Amino acid sequence: MQKIIPLDAVSLSRFPSRNGVRSGAGGCVAGSCESRDGASELTPDVWNKVKDHPCYNREAHHFFARMHVAVAPACNIQCNYCNRKYDCANESRPGVVSEQLTPELAARKVLWVASQMPQLSVVGIAGPGDALADPRKTLETCERISDALPDIKLCLSTNGLMLPEWVDAIKTHAIDHVTITINAIDPDIAEHIYAWVAYDKRRLTGRSAARLLIERQLLGLEMLVAAGTLVKVNSVMIPGINDTHLKELNTELKVRGVFLHNIMPLISDPAHGTHFGLIGQRGPTAAELKSVQNDLADGANLMKHCRQCRADAIGLLGDDQGRSFGIDRLPETAVVDHESRRNYRAVIDRERKHRKNATAIAAADLRDMSTGDQCLFAVCTKGGGRINQHFGHAREFQIYEADRLGVRLAGHRRAAQYCQGGFGEDDALESTIALLDGVYAILCARVGDRPRTLLSASGIRVIDDYAHEYIETAVAKVFVEHFGVVQRTANTA
């Protein structure tokens, strides 16, 4: 294997927001291999829109943060998986917020967060209801944010019912990214997902409600694509209801030019008070979700790094800092250091080039292998695309798959944190072991003796030799080493 010289990790959490700038990695050559995330496959206009968007570009999610402002409480449909009355500060799922904002407060809060967090690149309006049920608040918020911070990308999420009426306004307000939640394009399936749809002063139920919603969603989607807006479609995977329909949906979305399709597992718990929670409708297992994603490999491009965020989430995906920015602490004024924001982007540009180079070298090593096998790896990371988190601090594991075609992000699995400040929580460890079913190895920056012993006893390798290395290169090294041993053993047998 060629030698990869690791450069200093970019410490995102310690990046100075106001004074001074860390110097980044330099002197590297961009690799030749581009993924769907890369500039080479996209027009300059589209690349400019997605380059720093943590949801639309999976590489960007290692470096850039999004912020949701909860200015849209109303909704015009009722999904059977939604209950906006329930709020728990620890709960991460769409529709949940701890505070609602006026457009004026939302814009002030964005300035405050941007003054503290140079990683902030996108502001999204994702509820807690529907962003277009009362579009005046959504559009006024966007206007205020654009005026105050022109380098922020705007994003919104909608059920699509009112979309056709607002495509022109979305364009005028420079909202380049729109997510539509479409769970089915067959009314016979969709009628089991929606309790009612309110449109034109009427409340529809059953099949006619589902048909109207689907018509409006697809019309809005086509209009947005024609207008040059990037469209992502979220679909909630509901076993026994729409799981076998997702392939047909994905094919339709590809034909209609969506940029990404995000299959989200149903979150269902009776405590949330949703219809599905109360009737015991289960969500898919990680294996079921992966199986559907594998089945869609030739369709519309899939997003696999979604964290099903709250409607008031702030920060890197998977590391919600929303509680640090409560409205009760909102300052009267906040000064954004624009130079610091520009410097952060320059550092990240250099880091990305170096990472791309290292990843290309690792990919070349994998291509030389003769195995057709694939392995799953669980990675502990705080961001920056590096293995830089202690096992005991992980509240989620990023799952990567490796084979001779490369190393790819396959999703994430949420976990209970093992380390409780001085002692380890054995129950959490037990649930983590169950959660990591099918995983070959965990890569982390450090790990304690007890978790190492118990994880190893359950058949999961625990590796902390690659602290602060790039995820893809470390995974590739372990994969090559593992199958090298397998190969040698077979040859000498």
Burial per residue of 436-472, b for 16 or more beta-carbon CB atoms within 10 angstroms, e otherwise: beebbbbbbbebeeebbebbeeeebebbbebbebbbb
- Three-state DSSP at 35 gives coil
Which positions from 314 through 333 interact with ligand CLF, judged by CB under 6 A? 317
For the bound state, the minimum distance from the C-beta of residue 466 to ligand CLF, rounded and expressed in Å, comes to: 26
Residues in the chain: 493
| Contact status: 383 vs ligand CLF (CB under 6 A) | no
- Candidates 82, 182, 410, 462; binder of ligand SF4 (CB under 6 A) is 82
Q: Does 381 bind ligand SF4 (CB under 6 A)?
A: no
Stretch that binds ligand CLF, among 42-50, 119-127, 266-274, 421-429 (CB under 6 A): 119-127
Whole-number Å distance between alpha carbons of 57 and 39? 11
Q: By CB under 6 A, how many residues form the interface with ligand SF4?
A: 12
Binding mask 105-144 for ligand SF4 (x = CB under 6 A): ----------------------x-xx--------------
- By DSSP bridging, strand 314-315 and strand 230-237 are unpaired
Distance CA 99, CA 82 (A): 17
Q: Which of 179, 175, 155 is nearest to 234 (CA)?
A: 179
The residue type at 437: D
Q: Give the integer Cα–Cα distance in Å for 190 and 68.
A: 28
Structure tokens at 232: 């992502």
- Residue closer to ligand SF4, measured from CB, 75 or 289: 75
Number of residues that bind ligand CLF (CB under 6 A): 18
Letter string b/e over residues 192-227, b meaning 16 or more CB atoms within 10 A of that residue's CB: bbbeebebeeeebeeeebbbbbbebbbebbebbbee
Task: Find which of ligand CLF, ligand SF4, none residue 129 binds, CB within 5 to 8 Å per kind.
Answer: ligand SF4
Cα–Cα distance measured from residue 196 to residue 207, given in angstroms and rounded to the nearest whole number:
10
Using the contact rule CB under 6 A, the part of the chain among 72-80, 338-346, 403-411, 481-489 near ligand SF4 is 72-80
Partner from ligand CLF, ligand SF4, none contacting 317, C-beta within 5 to 8 A by type: ligand CLF
Please state, in angstroms and rounded to a whole number, the distance separating the CA atoms of residues 123 and 326: 16
Binding partner of 309, given ligand SF4, ligand CLF, none, CB within 5-8 angstroms per partner class: ligand CLF
* Residue from 7, 75, 126, 213 in contact with ligand CLF (CB under 6 A): 126
Binding of ligand CLF at residue 113 (CB under 6 A)? no
Nearer to ligand SF4, 25 or 264 (CB): 264
Residues 6+ away with beta carbon under 8 Å from 420: none
Residue 307 binds ligand CLF, judged by CB under 6 A: yes
Of the pair 144, 477, the CB lying nearest ligand CLF is at 144
Strand order in the sheet with 202-204: 77-79, 194-199, 202-204
- Rounded to a whole number of angstroms, the minimum distance from the CB of residue 330 to ligand SF4 is 25
Of residues 286, 239, 328, the one with CA closest to residue 415: 286
According to the binding rule CB under 6 A, does residue 62 interact with ligand CLF? no
Q: Which amino acid is at 287?
A: A
**297 Cβ contact list (under 8 Å, min separation 6):** none
Q: Determine, following the binding rule CB under 6 A, whether residue 261 of this chain makes contact with ligand CLF.
A: no
Task: For 53-82, give one letter per residue: b (16+ CB within 10 A) or e.
Answer: bbbbbbbbbbbbbbbbbbbbbebbbbbbbb
Alpha helices (H) along 436-470: 449-457
Q: Does 78 bind ligand SF4 (CB under 6 A)?
A: yes
Q: Which residues contact 5 (CB under 8 A, 6 or more apart)?
A: none
- Figure out which of the listed residues 95, 220, 392, 451 binds ligand SF4, where binding follows CB under 6 A: 95
Closer residue to ligand CLF (CB): 53 or 386: 53
Q: Does 79 bind ligand SF4 (CB under 6 A)?
A: yes
Q: Which is nearer to ligand CLF, 312 or 469 (CB)?
A: 312
Q: Is residue 160 involved in binding ligand SF4 (CB under 6 A)?
A: no
Which lies closer to ligand CLF via its Cβ, residue 24 or residue 124? 124
The reply to whether 11 sits near ligand SF4 by the rule CB under 6 A is: no
Among ligand CLF, ligand SF4, none, what binds residue 116 when CB lies within 5 to 8 Å by partner kind? none
User: Which residues contact ligand SF4 (rule: CB under 6 A)?
Assistant: 75, 77-79, 82, 84, 94-95, 127, 129-130, 159
User: Which residues contact ligand CLF (rule: CB under 6 A)?
Assistant: 55, 66, 68, 94, 122, 124, 126, 155, 157, 177, 179, 232, 262, 306-309, 317
